[in-house]
Structure 1
Amino acid sequence: MATLFPDTMPRLTPRAALATAAGAGVLSAALILWVIGDTAVATGFLAAAIVLGGALVAWRALAPEPPAPGPAVDWQLVRTLAQESDDAIAVTDRAGRLVCANDRFEELFGGLSAPPGLPVGEAGVGALAAAGRAAWRDGRARVEHAEVAGRAIYFDVLRAGQRQDLLIWRAASLMGSDSGRALAEALTGSLGRRLAESGIMAALLTPDGRVIAADPVLRMRAMGHADAAVEGADFARFLITDERGLIRFEREGRDGNPLRLVQVPFSDIDGAPILVALLDEDEAPVSLGSGAAAHIRTLVQLMPLGIALVDRDGRFIEMNDAFIRAAAVDRDAPPLYPGDLVVREDKAAVADAVRRFAGGGAAHVTDIAVRLRDLPEEPVVLSIAGARGLGDAAVVLSLKENNEESRLKREVAQATKMQAVGQLAGGVAHDFNNILTAIIGHCDLMLMRHSPGDSDYDDIQQVRNNSNRAAALTRQLLAFSRQQTLRPQILQLPDVVSEVSNLLKRLLGEMVTLEVRHGRNLGPVRADPGQLEQVVVNLAVNARDAMAAKYPHGGGKLMIQTRSATTAEIRRRGPDVMPVGEYTALEISDTGSGIAPDALPKIFEPFFTTKEVGKGTGLGLSTVYGIVKQSGGYIFADSKPGQGATFTIYLPVHASGEPVAPRKAAPKAKPAELWGTGTVLLVEDEDMVRAVAERALTRQGYTVIAAENGEIALELIEQHPRPDLLVSDVVMPAMDGPTMARRIRLRYPDLPILFMSGYAEEQLRRSIDIENVAFIPKPFSVQQLAEAAREALGQQG
């Protein structure tokens, strides 16, 4: 680092500067007069010296003070301060380089790697990178959970430095934060004193058995003094075991009272502390007063794991908030017995286990797999242990709150099932599109031979209309299977909602209130605006029907909100379901009748509907699901019966820098004249589609050469002159359309090509690396095929 020296030249006033210059001039003139003896020269030199010297000294005197350099960072001092912390601390600069770290950081992460490149797993690295960006932007960020070597930790990130060009990363174990720290403080504070007065010995231990905190009575029994320091000591060294397996304090020897050691589950996170209680093994259990019982309840409430206490009659006497959440208990009407929590089939097993532990007939903790009455879909583990010395409590129940884990498992399983169903639906729709192409095409050809007055005209028209309805169903199936043709644009979600708002007001009617809210600074998304409008309309129609069922005489409210999704919100969804990133959310909620729990996992499946027969096809939500998924997004449904439903759509923010497209693109002009000339090479493996296409193109004036596969098409190219247009199916056996087209383009590089397929255009274009090709989706009519051929040939009328 360069060293800056201060300026040592004295600062002069203007008068002193001029006096200095005059003195220097007199001395110089006297010297010249003495040397050369010429008075005129000496006088001129004196005047010039006064002017130049005075100007120079005055400029120096009047010049501004140079800015003082900022103080240099003393990294040795910073590292010394960091060493005093029990947490892992590191400092990085703007370039992401590690400039300082304490020994705890190197020990915890096995080296001196710069965040976010730490051994915390792929999801953890992503969370750290996002936190770093947030800290540079907002000044502070936090990562609530990460894991290193099976240990749960959290990170605090702070922007610092004189020029705000440094990030301070602090990592600490979850066992030392929040509930763990609160419990440790409580044991060494008033709660510990109350427990001591009741004769209860409690200690909080690290996973390797070191003491974090202990109450006074345990300190007295183990060390001989209530204020003895036991923090960091090996807890096992305080105890001895005799030949009968009885536990006593080592200090009291074999004549001391035998002890009962109870380990209370504290957390299911690896590395979390362990809470143990020591109770004297007397013939009669210790009876606690009402004051001590209140402190026992406080201790239970501090547990982050679901804990409940049951008396000898099998009735609940206390349950903490974690247990209430895990068991889905109604706070206003709590159950009386543990059996009331589970389904009917599990009541007997739970009641029998509680009775055995309450009577002292069981000595170890027992785990029972049960299904909760209000959450019967997923089994949970209920841990049961006996309790002595806890007043009226005879049994301790522990229930892990795994709602989030179960939800993630269900969503992953649902996503896998939906993908398999989508592949099946897409294959069915593709084959059905070939059949509909033939039906619609033959209807068009027959209608050309009949006038509206003919007896067969109406029948043919009816067949054609029904075929078009079937084609609409296949388009919905293709939407669900993410194989429909989209026209994505860079757009803002509020623009899409505004475009469709007037239509929604007409669909909902005057009795339903429509409320629209838009967040600020929303990121643009890349999607098909028309398909997004269909998503909003489908969800709004379903909401309208749900509110009509709840409010027969009218009423209800539909709320549409656009907002930026937070990183914490995305992380709660789980990386297996939704990767961490930047998303813009579209949330549509209603106040209708809600969705039944057994129907909620199935609502996006094709042909699943809860409506009456004839009032729904069951493809509305499956279409929504497919459009969102094909646009790269995610959709989630949350509902409780009678409380409405909320559909949340997350679309990834598009950050390419492309401008947001205008809402409506100008429609493409259709050729006025469909008649054409020239030779068309038609390649289609389905006989019925090939026959319709050949007749349709022939009627429009083209000479058609038909081939049933790619190999025959290549032979016809060798036998006939150059065709004017190649019309080909994409998916064919043996040789597919793109492979055949590339072979033909080697012979005729500028040959126009028109592909036809029942799959999505953008899906096919990713696999077709051929330039200047046109596309027409199946099913198509005779007129649509003629228009596509005319446009491909460039013969615009």
Structure 2
Amino acid sequence: MIPLASLDSRGWWRGQRGALGIALLAGALAAALVLWLIGDMAVACGFVAAALVLAGVAVAAMRLRAPVAVGPAVEHDWELVRSLAESSDDAVAITDRGGKLVCANDRYEQLFGGFPTPPALPLVGDGAGQLAVAGRAAWRDGTARASLRGAAGAIDAVIARTGQQQDFLIWRFLGAAAPTGQVARLLESIDGGLGQQLGAAGVMAALITANGHVLSANAVLRTRATGTPEGTIVDEDLARFLSEDPGGTVRFLAEGASATPLRLLQIPLGDDPDAPILVAMVDVDNGIAGGGAAEDLEGLLMLMPFGVALVDREGRFTQMNRAFARAASVEPGATPTYPGDLVVREDKAAVADAIRRASGGGRPMDLAVRLKDHPDEPVALSIAAARGLGDAAVLLSLKDNGEENRLKREVAQATKMQAVGQLAGGVAHDFNNILTAIIGHCDLMLMRHSPGDSDYDDIQQIRANSNRAASLTRQLLAFSRQQTLRPQVLQLPDVVSEVSNLLRRLMGETVTLEVKHGRDLGPVRADPGQLEQVVVNLAVNARDAMLSKGTGGKLTIQTRSVPIAEIRRRGSDIVPLGDYTALDVSDTGTGIPPEVLPKIFEPFFTTKDVGKGTGLGLSTVYGIVKQSGGFIFADSKPGQGATFTIYLPVYAAAAAEAGTAPAASRPAPRQRTGDLWGSGTILLVEDEDMVRAVAERALARQGYTVLAAENGEAALELMQGVDRPTLVISDVMMPVMDGPTLARQLRQAHPNIPILFMSGYAEEQLRRSIDLDNVAFLPKPFSVQQLAEATRDVLVAQEARGGS
């Protein structure tokens, strides 16, 4: 499409001048013809004059009709404009010449509850009309301002004309904030259930702005103020519905001078001068809680959904509602004399000073204080001057932050556990490379020594300690949920039965083992070897706890199905609703102290004596359970033993698999040692020199030709001019080029080439980043025997698929 501006006004005028020349020439020819026919010069001149007049009229008309040259069409990048608007703390909207809203930021949506088009905004009084006047002034003068009032208070509107063609208006709204938190909840509840309860008790309640305009009111107040149940007072000035006589008595204006007097209670909801105010009214002769002004005030305070207390000018409590007493842990009938009696000694002076300043008319403030009964959990204490409350001079509001603090601790704990898990996984990966080299060299040395040699036992001892270290790295990986699992569909009773004989030997003579199995248990999908480790670790910890009493005890292991009600009690935000099979491990030991219970799953945390525990037992259990998709909880009372409950989700596809893995996914049967010899060319890629050296020597001893490279790029250079290798054995994480990238490039030249990945990281974690088919995995550390077996298994599987 060609823009309108592509029509050149000068070319248009050139065309019109040609037409005028033709018209003038025609007039001259007509005059000459008249002169020749009749010979009258006056008539011929008249023809010429008429032609000139007509040409002048035509020129004027063409000037009026000439097109207006406009600039080039502008394409507006509204995504860029919106991004710029989002960077502003103010509410911003843009409208075009036709009044259409073309852009607005999220702050605008929050302030006005959506995207209404200016000036039709939800404003108090005639705010929309004032905004419309300001908008017209902005189109005329370029800029305009308006002082308005919204649901959250005063709003300053600044409107400016903008755009290359000056065809847009920018509307910027400053100074107001959308109701959030406690204010937002009160706005909704006063007009709902809370307002109805207050009305039933004879209390009229409203939430007003600092300027006195009503944001929300319950039905009783609306009816009394307007004289009709259908009346509305929202956005109106509350003072307009009240009257005050010279004696200070306040009544509803609609009820006349003989109306029942009112008592007003005002509670500011923050230390900001523009913060909303909660207003409550009761009839002076209402008789709440037995009648009388004091009883009225006490009854009103008791109805408040948040903690409120009143303090006189001497700093003593005069009233306190149940919510305040509950948050401050005040027992019924044991109200303290001073607010400072509630807090720890270090905070007493700050509380007393804040109350003294508030009673003298100082600004409201918030203090973070520690209560005597909960010194480790600070709470928020709001202090403000009381207005219209008789003897009360200061109003206190206490917010119970217990749940909020608990959530903060849980988030901090989860963050710490995640960081430690990442560190543990990285340490285990590097340690696995070292152990692979140690174990591999031990295996190679044992091939040159026979039992009875002087060095044979020493080498075996080195190898045994290396395997113990490998077990420790598996615990680190289990805690960080990065170990390699071999999940199967199984029944929990089968796992417990496999280890029950071992547990009886571990428990000793003084500990009795009792095993119980429920009925109709759903199958689960997990690694049976890892689940056995979970049961053994929990049982050993329980045995140590019982033996510490000196009298032994009883260990109970129970499997059972889990009712949905139990899951609901745990909390659906912690354990998703579903079908679970549970494993309970209970003991009659000393129990777990409350201060220790939150830390038991942390790595390297132990209550055992130095040298008797690594602190990785329960953290390993936690990691295995979480990596298996389950949940674990510890319940204990000091002196009454402890119970560990593990929930594992019921495997939905168990019926189809019937408790066994499909044939296609079963690992190939292990070959005998004598069958591990082979032939062919193996491309070995490993960035750790010591691991590469061990693997190269081990594979060469099995009869293979080995091409070794230190990274992916070196492997590709090595493959130039070389025939297709029989197998590629590669580390996964390498500098320059990693294993999966190398494998993809090799398969472009040699499709279906078999690949065996090896890594110190977990297979499950790595397979999310390996989008390749027909690849095998060998976890580190591995022995020479395991490397040879894995190599043979891959080649056998390749032959079964038809080779290359």
Structure-to-structure mapping, 1:574-593, within 5 angstroms: 582=578, 584=580, 586=582
SS of the residue 1:755 aligns to = strand
* Alignment check: 8 A CA contact 1:508 1:544 kept: yes
* Alignment check: 8 A CA contact 2:523 2:650 kept: yes
1:698 corresponds to which letter in structure 2? A
Alpha-carbon distance change, 317 to 259 in structure 1, aligned in 2, over 3 angstroms: closer
1:743 corresponds to which letter in structure 2? Q
Where do 5+ consecutive residues of structure 2 fail to align? 1-111, 116-177, 209-213, 271-275, 800-804
Higher mean C-alpha displacement, 664-673 vs 722-731: 664-673
- What does residue 350 of structure 1 align with? 351
Q: How far apart, in 2, do the equivalents of 1:747 and 1:223 lie?
A: 87
Q: How far apart, in 2, do the equivalents of 1:547 and 1:317 lie?
A: 53
* Alignment check: 8 A CA contact 1:247 1:260 kept: no
- What does residue 411 of structure 1 align with? 410
Task: Tell me how far 1:484 sits from its aligned partner.
Answer: 0.9
Higher mean C-alpha displacement, 739-748 vs 535-544: 535-544
Task: Tell me how far 1:250 sits from its aligned partner.
Answer: 6.1
Q: How far apart, in 2, do the equivalents of 1:513 and 1:236 lie?
A: 77
Which of 606, 609, 622 is the aligned partner of 2:619? 622
Could you list the per-position Cα deviations for residues 618-646 of structure 1 after superposition, in whole angstroms to 9, with x for gaps in the alignment?
Answer: 22232233223333455566778778767
Which of 699, 704, 707 is the aligned partner of 2:706? 704
Task: Tell me how far 1:733 sits from its aligned partner.
Answer: 1.6
* Alignment check: 8 A CA contact 1:213 1:231 kept: no
Please state if 1:607 is matched with 2:604: yes
Q: How far apart, in 2, do the equivalents of 1:150 and 1:304 lie?
A: 17
* Alignment check: 8 A CA contact 1:564 1:585 kept: no
1:772 corresponds to which letter in structure 2? N
* Alignment check: 8 A CA contact 1:671 1:787 kept: yes
* Alignment check: 8 A CA contact 1:511 1:556 kept: yes
- What does residue 671 of structure 2 align with? 671
Q: How far apart, in 1, do the equivalents of 2:590 and 2:318 lie?
A: 36
Alpha-carbon distance change, 513 to 780 in structure 1, aligned in 2, over 3 angstroms: closer
Q: How far apart, in 1, do the equivalents of 2:422 and 2:761 lie?
A: 12
1:306 corresponds to which letter in structure 2? G
* Alignment check: 8 A CA contact 1:490 1:658 kept: no
1:686 corresponds to which letter in structure 2? E
Task: Tell me how far 1:769 sits from its aligned partner.
Answer: 2.9
- What does residue 486 of structure 2 align with? 487
Alpha-carbon distance change, 674 to 354 in structure 1, aligned in 2, over 3 angstroms: farther
Task: Tell me how far 1:349 sits from its aligned partner.
Answer: 1.9
SS of the residue 1:449 aligns to = coil
Could you list the per-position Cα deviations for residues 268-314 of structure 1 after superposition, in whole angstroms to 9, with x for gaps in the alignment?
Answer: xxxx995625799xxxxx99989997886665554432345668886
Higher mean C-alpha displacement, 174-183 vs 529-538: 174-183
Task: Tell me how far 1:559 sits from its aligned partner.
Answer: 8.2
Please state if 1:380 is matched with 2:386: no
Structure-to-structure mapping, 1:394-793, within 5 angstroms: 397-490=396-489, 526-543=525-542, 545-546=544-545, 551-554=549-552, 563=562, 569=568, 582=578, 584=580, 586=582, 602-633=599-630, 655=652, 659=656, 662=659, 669-672=669-672, 673-679=674-680, 680-793=682-795
Task: Tell me how far 1:452 sits from its aligned partner.
Answer: 3.2
Q: How far apart, in 1, do the equivalents of 2:390 and 2:246 lie?
A: 30
* Alignment check: 8 A CA contact 2:196 2:219 kept: no
2:397 corresponds to which letter in structure 1? S
Alpha-carbon distance change, 553 to 747 in structure 1, aligned in 2, over 3 angstroms: same
* Alignment check: 8 A CA contact 1:261 1:279 kept: no
* Alignment check: 8 A CA contact 1:730 1:737 kept: yes
SS of the residue 1:767 aligns to = coil
TM-score by length of 2: 0.60
2:624 corresponds to which letter in structure 1? I
Alpha-carbon distance change, 389 to 715 in structure 1, aligned in 2, over 3 angstroms: closer
2:690 corresponds to which letter in structure 1? M
Alpha-carbon distance change, 495 to 442 in structure 1, aligned in 2, over 3 angstroms: closer
* Alignment check: 8 A CA contact 2:503 2:536 kept: yes
Task: Tell me how far 1:538 sits from its aligned partner.
Answer: 3.5
* Alignment check: 8 A CA contact 2:575 2:631 kept: no
* Alignment check: 8 A CA contact 2:190 2:218 kept: no
Q: How far apart, in 2, do the equivalents of 1:604 and 1:287 lie?
A: 54
Task: Tell me how far 1:463 sits from its aligned partner.
Answer: 1.7
Task: Tell me how far 1:553 sits from its aligned partner.
Answer: 3.5
Higher mean C-alpha displacement, 488-497 vs 473-482: 488-497
* Alignment check: 8 A CA contact 1:517 1:562 kept: no
Q: How far apart, in 1, do the equivalents of 2:311 and 2:502 lie?
A: 58
- What does residue 131 of structure 2 align with? none
- What does residue 212 of structure 1 align with? 218
Q: How far apart, in 2, do the equivalents of 1:731 and 1:500 lie?
A: 37
Q: How far apart, in 2, do the equivalents of 1:174 and 1:678 lie?
A: 80
* Alignment check: 8 A CA contact 1:371 1:380 kept: yes
SS of the residue 1:371 aligns to = strand
Could you list the per-position Cα deviations for residues 499-518 of structure 1 after superposition, in whole angstroms to 9, with x for gaps in the alignment?
Answer: 76776677667657869796
Q: How far apart, in 1, do the equivalents of 2:334 and 2:584 lie?
A: 32
- What does residue 367 of structure 2 align with? 368
1:711 corresponds to which letter in structure 2? E
SS of the residue 1:794 aligns to = helix
Where do 5+ consecutive residues of structure 1 fail to align? 1-107, 112-147, 154-171, 189-201, 267-271, 281-285
Alpha-carbon distance change, 644 to 293 in structure 1, aligned in 2, over 3 angstroms: farther
TM-score by length of 1: 0.61
Alpha-carbon distance change, 771 to 780 in structure 1, aligned in 2, over 3 angstroms: same
Q: How far apart, in 2, do the equivalents of 1:539 and 1:419 lie?
A: 23
Task: Tell me how far 1:418 sits from its aligned partner.
Answer: 2.4
Alpha-carbon distance change, 664 to 312 in structure 1, aligned in 2, over 3 angstroms: farther
* Alignment check: 8 A CA contact 1:301 1:320 kept: yes
* Alignment check: 8 A CA contact 1:681 1:704 kept: yes
* Alignment check: 8 A CA contact 2:523 2:654 kept: no
Task: Tell me how far 1:780 sits from its aligned partner.
Answer: 0.8
Task: Tell me how far 1:438 sits from its aligned partner.
Answer: 0.5
- What does residue 126 of structure 1 align with? none
2:603 corresponds to which letter in structure 1? P
* Alignment check: 8 A CA contact 1:567 1:581 kept: no
- What does residue 267 of structure 2 align with? 263
SS of the residue 1:406 aligns to = helix
1:671 corresponds to which letter in structure 2? Q
Task: Tell me how far 1:725 sits from its aligned partner.
Answer: 2.7
Task: Tell me how far 1:687 sits from its aligned partner.
Answer: 0.8
SS of the residue 2:366 aligns to = strand
* Alignment check: 8 A CA contact 1:441 1:780 kept: yes
Q: How far apart, in 2, do the equivalents of 1:714 and 1:375 lie?
A: 66
Overall identity of the aligned pairs, in %: 61
Could you list the per-position Cα deviations for residues 70-109 of structure 1 after superposition, in whole angstroms to 9, with x for gaps in the alignment?
Answer: xxxxxxxxxxxxxxxxxxxxxxxxxxxxxxxxxxxxxx99
SS of the residue 2:205 aligns to = strand
Task: Tell me how far 1:688 sits from its aligned partner.
Answer: 0.4
Would you say how many aligned residue pairs link Structure 1 and Structure 2?
Answer: 598
Q: How far apart, in 1, do the equivalents of 2:436 and 2:494 lie?
A: 36
Rg (Cα) greater in structure: 2
Q: How far apart, in 2, do the equivalents of 1:325 and 1:642 lie?
A: 30
Could you list the per-position Cα deviations for residues 372-410 of structure 1 after superposition, in whole angstroms to 9, with x for gaps in the alignment?
Answer: 445445432012456799899876543223322222232
Task: Tell me how far 1:684 sits from its aligned partner.
Answer: 1.4
SS of the residue 2:615 aligns to = coil
- What does residue 163 of structure 2 align with? none
2:609 corresponds to which letter in structure 1? E
Task: Tell me how far 1:449 sits from its aligned partner.
Answer: 2.4
1:771 corresponds to which letter in structure 2? D
